[in-house]
């Protein structure tokens, strides 16, 4: 009997220790607060960055192998891949980054001072710098850049310009000069659908956060609509047979919305192909039902099913939304 009680006591102590270790492990992981996030995939790893809106100004990086658990690559508390004042344009408003690799060069487009910018590096970890510190197009304010390379080798810059609201534009891009070809500049579409302009937050029309994919010869333009402070900030998509359009908005839109993913302000992210061969969308949501910022990062699998017209009907696997954590 005495031995039995001793064994029970040992088992109880071990259970307490296991619970404590598990709780300590869980407590060491923290939520990720990147707005306008993007994920770059290479060599069996995911690299995440996004808008931080805090000092030191610039862009930080996290890495992962499973999309759920993220760490700082250099093992420290913070690793910046582009820093304010380090041979890169901008003093404030470092927003909406995108990784783009072409041959052996890594490019990094972002917004600063309400201007789109491109920098480069020979490493995914940066530092991303400019030979000539300048914006892509200083002739007008423009934000939310996305660089796309077509099958014929031409480059296109999708971005947002202001005209009593935020609208999506595209222009052919000269990657050697780091500038658009202004004669090719064209607005992609207007704000026309009820889901793109809900009354829950009063603002001018907003269409932003573009990502372009090309599947089976068709161009897919993912974008966010409504003001980011609107609980109905959400993601839809349009298709075209040319990088310049005309764009046809898909009736499935929005594909990411609070009614689908369960959190307010769900939008402005990027599409990426996972290590499992599936496509995902990384985006941000409001901090809570009553607070917008700092915005939290989320990831959701995309479901692509081709319709009779050859166009993919895109939905999300709302039962498997990932809430990534870091330490």
Residues with active-site annotation: 36, 208
Q: Which residues pair with 19 in a beta bridge?
A: none
**Helix (H), strand (E) at residue 226:** none
Q: Where are the alpha helices (DSSP H) in 205-286?
A: 258-261
- DSSP letter string, 189-215: ----SGGGS-TTS--S-BEEEEEEEEE
- Using the 8-state DSSP alphabet, how is residue 38 labeled? E
DSSP, collapsed to helix, strand or coil, labels residue 8 as helix
Q: How far apart are CA 157 and CA 212, in angstroms?
A: 10
Query: Does residue 94 contact residue 78 with C-beta atoms inside 8 Å?
Result: no
The residues, ordered by sequence, that sit 6+ positions from 220 with a Cβ below 8 Å of its Cβ are: 212, 213, 214, 237, 238, 239, 312, 314
DSSP, collapsed to helix, strand or coil, labels residue 261 as helix
Query: Does residue 113 contact residue 135 with C-beta atoms inside 8 Å?
Result: yes
β 325-326/30-31 pair status: antiparallel
């Amino acid at each position: 009997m005495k031995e039995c009680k001793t064994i029970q006591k040992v088992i109880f102590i071990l259970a307490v220790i296991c619970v404590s270790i598990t709780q300590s492990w869980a407590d060491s992981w923290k939520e990720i607060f990147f707005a306008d996030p993007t994920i770059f995939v290479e060599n069996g790893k995911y690299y995440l960055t996004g808008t931080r809106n805090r000092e030191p100004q610039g862009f930080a990086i996290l890495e992962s192998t499973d999309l759920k658990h993220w760490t700082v690559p250099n093992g420290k508390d913070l690793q910046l891949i582009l820093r304010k004042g380090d041979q890169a344009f901008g003093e404030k408003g470092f927003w909406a980054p995108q990784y783009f690799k072409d041959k052996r060069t890594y490019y990094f487009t972002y917004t600063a001072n309400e201007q789109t910018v491109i920098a480069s590096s020979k490493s995914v970890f940066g530092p991303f710098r400019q030979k000539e510190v300048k914006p892509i197009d200083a002739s007008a304010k423009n934000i939310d850049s996305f660089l796309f390379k077509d099958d014929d080798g031409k480059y296109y810059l999708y971005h947002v310009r202001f005209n009593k609201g935020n609208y999506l534009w595209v222009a052919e891009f000269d990657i050697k000069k780091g500038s658009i070809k202004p004669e090719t500049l064209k607005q992609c579409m207007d704000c026309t659908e009820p889901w793109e302009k809900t009354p829950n937050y009063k603002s001018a029309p907003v269409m932003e956060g573009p990502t372009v994919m090309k599947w089976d010869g068709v161009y897919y333009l993912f974008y966010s609509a409504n003001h980011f402070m609107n609980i109905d900030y959400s993601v839809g998509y349009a298709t075209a047979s040319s990088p310049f359009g005309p764009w046809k908005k898909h009736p499935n839109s929005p594909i990411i919305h609070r009614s689908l993913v369960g959190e307010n302000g769900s939008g402005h992210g990027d599409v990426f192909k996972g290590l499992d061969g599936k496509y995902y969308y990384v985006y941000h949501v409001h901090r809570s039902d009553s607070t917008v910022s700092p915005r939290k990062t989320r990831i959701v699998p995309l479901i692509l099913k081709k319709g009779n017209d050859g166009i993919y009907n895109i939905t999300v696997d709302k039962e498997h939304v990932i809430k990534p954590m870091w330490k």
